[in-house]
Amino acid sequence: MSSVFRILFYTPEIPGNTGNAIRLAAVTGSELHLVEPLGFDFEDSKLRRAGLDYHDLAVVTVHKDIEAAWAALAPARVFAFTSEGETRYTDIAYEPGDVLLFGPESVGLPAGLKTDAHVTATVRLPMLEARRSLNLANSASIAVYEAWRQHSFANAPST
């Protein structure tokens, strides 16, 4: 199965979120890219538990910094997900190979990444006012499934 979309977590902190993203990548055929430093190691029991037995089914790449990630992912379009995003996630016409970028759990994407030349657009998931953010793994799931839905769930068995 070929990878359709690429999830990029910039310096993720919580092992359970990355474990859930590993499962997400495995079940959707997406790739998961992680930018160091990570707030955990791959032997972390919470990461292993959240990823269950999907670790061997997912494509996961760790990059030493954001520049290494950009080099590996170029020339893809990059959609940076942030609560201050200018475009609603459902208003994007996703294309195979697009990168869905998410920031660390505690602070979200740094301002410099939101305006980085590699970023095609900043994107938001609608939320009620006075709410800070959604869980990282949940946000990535919503975005990946919308992108995949737009492509009729390519590579998934028809039911």
130: domain CATH number is 3.40.1280.10
Which tens digit of pLDDT belongs to each residue from 101-155? 999 999 999 999 999 999 999 999 999 988 888 999 999 999 999 999 999 998 8
Contact status, residue 39 vs residue 15, Cβ threshold 8 Å: yes
Query: How sure is the predictor about 1, in pLDDT bands with cuts at 50, 70 and 90?
Result: very low
Q: Is the confidence at residue 159, as pLDDT, over 70?
A: no
Residue 110: asked if its preceding bond is cis (omega within 30°), the reply is no
Q: Name the helix (H) or strand (E) containing 10.
A: strand 6-10
At residue 3, the pLDDT reads 61
At residue 113, the pLDDT reads 96
Question: Does residue 110 sit within a domain?
Answer: yes
Is 125 one of the annotated binding-site residues? Answer: yes
Question: Does residue 158 sit within a domain?
Answer: no
Smallest Cα–Cα separation from 80: which of 53, 57, 64, 98? Answer: 98
Taking residues 80-88, report their average pLDDT: 95
Which tens digit of pLDDT belongs to each residue from 15-63? 889 999 999 999 999 999 999 999 888 775 766 665 557 778 899 999 9
At residue 137, the pLDDT reads 95
Is 108 one of the annotated binding-site residues? Answer: no
Domain that residue 10 falls in = 6-150
Is 19 one of the annotated binding-site residues? Answer: no
Q: What are phi and psi of 31, to 5 degrees?
A: -105, 145
Query: What's the structural domain count of the chain?
Result: 1
Question: Does residue 119 sit within a domain?
Answer: yes
Question: Does residue 105 sit within a domain?
Answer: yes
Question: Does residue 155 sit within a domain?
Answer: no
